[in-house]
Amino acid sequence: MTLQMPQADELVLNNKENIILDLKKISSNVLFENEEITPYETDGLTAYKQKPIAVVLPETTDEVSKVLSYCFNNNVKVVPRGAGTGLSGGALPLQDCILVGLGKFNKILETDFENRCVVAQPGVTNLAITNAVQHEGFYYAPDPSSQIACSIGGNIAENSGGVHSLKYGTTTNNVLGVEMVLMDGTVLRIGGKNLDSEGYDLLGLITGSEGLLGVITEVTVKILKKPQSVRAVLIGFDTIEDSGNCVADIISKGIVPAGMEIMDRPLIKATDDYAKAGYPRDVESLLIVELDGTESEVDILIEKVLEISKANKASYHRASASDEERLRFWKGRKAAFPALGVISPDYICMDGSIPRNKLADVLGEIYKMSKKYGLGVANCFHAGDGNLHPLIMYDSNNPKELKKAEEFGADILKYCVKVGGVLTGEHGVGIEKRDLMCEMFNDNDIQQQLRLKKAFDDKNLLNPGKVYPILHRCAEEGRIHIHKGKTKFPDLPRF
């Protein structure tokens, strides 16, 4: 299916050949033939595809600066792209854009154990940072499921999280500094190896900005010393309510696990079939709790968690006796996405956050929606921080099923907001949740955010059409008016 995009700039499209020739004078890595740019026509939200004018793969910050400066002066839109693993369409190209891929920025520049940080280029994968420092007993805490492939620059753009976000925070809690290039070619350095800096928290603003404010060309992240002991517990429940109550009780007792995940019965079966993790098959929900610290501390916490689980009617529990067994507990959860790919032709991975005490309520509502739309769903949760990931199964060969999947996903996110949650936890807004922004923000809220966007990108050339429903013809004025979820301009193409 081809996604309907905002109105293209015909002047830019008619000047396509000259733009490509000009870019080739700046960079030796310009792709424009159909077979060359096809791999860049989509990201992890694979239901939608659109080819750009060309793909530029710069190798230096200076090259990025010159490309952006050229595009700024010639009013050419730019879409930044990391590894393309994003799940909200944030790196989806536009018909009249240049896609700037950061794949050649793939070097770790410095490992500074004294200051406990790593300086890396944005194309370095998340897991590569841990691999570069683990020989000295260090690691990088945020660990999204795609950590073997996703880039650290993309993690910053989306404020990625992962299993261990509960205790150690998302990307924003672990990034110390960035080098970035603004749309006009200006190169900025924000933060560094220090833990804090004076002035506005621009680093907090950049993290999670989804490529709308600048192109990241270098990152500095903090690394942590590996704990003395790490153990995990598998806990099975006969109802999702009991598992949700158990999560709430663990947190209320002052216990902060390194990670705490819930899977429902459909996902337990799918992941166990795929990864052979040894999960119990006769439970409705499975809770994985990981605890770390000193050996004595972890042993005590394991006993406390088991006591809490028994008080919440757990029907199954097993504590890891070795690190190999702990990793096996996580093997299935980490394989959730490929496991669903085995049993369903296609699926959409949703991303929303809710208050922990609403978990059972929201999951019950999701099951009702599943029956309403006639589509299967499997659920996993970063239970400790209320970040849920319903996996909606459908067949893209049936256009009606994709439409139903989209509507199903939108209803889930609307319900998240209704119970006091938010539209996203770690995947970003992109195009997937763009039309749902009005569920959370009123006109004044969005106006203010657009003013901030305009301060960094006055011409609205950097990743336009994402996050905010900006009209092409009024983008220069930086304004949009929304009433009850609808714009005043019915001709705005909807995503």
Q: Which fold has domain 229-336?
A: Alpha-Beta Plaits (3.30.70)
- Return the amino acid letter for 72: F
Q: Would you say residue 473 has pLDDT above 80?
A: no
Distance CA 115, CA 56 (A): 35
The CATH number corresponding to 344-432 among 3.30.70.1290, 3.30.70.2740, 3.30.420.10, 3.30.1330.10 equals 3.30.70.2740
DSSP 419: T
443 in Cβ contact with 487 (< 8 Å): no
Among 48, 172, 37, smallest CA distance to 465 is for: 48
pLDDT at 357: 84
Per-residue pLDDT tens digits for 236-245: 999 988 998 9
Residue whose C-alpha is closest to residue 375's, from 266, 227, 240, 270: 266
What is the helix (H) or strand (E) element at residue 67, kind and residue range?
helix 61-73
Whether 493 shows a pLDDT value over 50: the answer reads no
CA distance 265 to 269: 6
The mean pLDDT of 273-289, rounded to a whole number, is 96
Predicted confidence at residue 471, as pLDDT, reads 45
> Is the pLDDT reported for residue 466 higher than 50?
yes
Structure tokens at 62: 């200076």
Domains of the chain, by residue range, sit at: 10-101, 108-225, 229-336, 344-432, 435-487
Q: What is the reported pLDDT for 384?
A: 83
Tokens of 474: 């009024």
* Average pLDDT score, the chain: 91
Structure tokens at 337: 């996405």
CATH class in words for 10-101: alpha beta
Domains 108-225 and 229-336 share a fold: no
CA distances for 31 relative to 13, 27, 396, 431, 465, angstroms: 16, 10, 29, 25, 23
pLDDT at position 478 over 70: no
CA–CA gap between residue 14 and residue 318 (Å, rounded): 64
The encoded tokens of residue 84 equal 């393309």
Pair of tokens at residue 418: 């209704």
Q: How many whole angstroms separate alpha carbon 314 and alpha carbon 279? A: 14
pLDDT reported for residue 5: 60
Residue 219 and residue 117: Cα distance in Å, rounded? Answer: 10
Q: How far apart are CA 462 and CA 470, in angstroms?
A: 13
pLDDT tens across 126-169, in order?
Answer: 999 999 999 999 999 999 989 999 999 999 999 999 989 999 99
**Inter-CA distances, 483 with 414, 415, 471, Å:** 17, 20, 15
Least confident of 44-58, 327-341, 360-374, 475-489: 475-489
Query: Which CATH architecture best describes the domain 108-225?
Result: 2-Layer Sandwich (3.30)
CA distances from 190 to 166, 196, 212 (A): 26, 11, 16
| pLDDT tens digits, one per residue of 298-321 | 999 999 999 999 999 999 999 999
207-247 pLDDT, tens digit per residue, is 999 999 999 999 999 999 999 999 999 999 999 889 989 99
Burial of 479 (0-12, 13-18, 19+ CB in 10 A): middle
Q: Which helix (H) or strand (E) holds 248?
A: helix 240-252
Q: How far apart are CA 257 and CA 339, in angstroms?
A: 26
Count CB neighbours of 265 within 10 A: 16
Quote the pTM value. 0.90
**pLDDT at residue 4, as a whole number:** 53
Run of H or E including 112 = strand 108-112
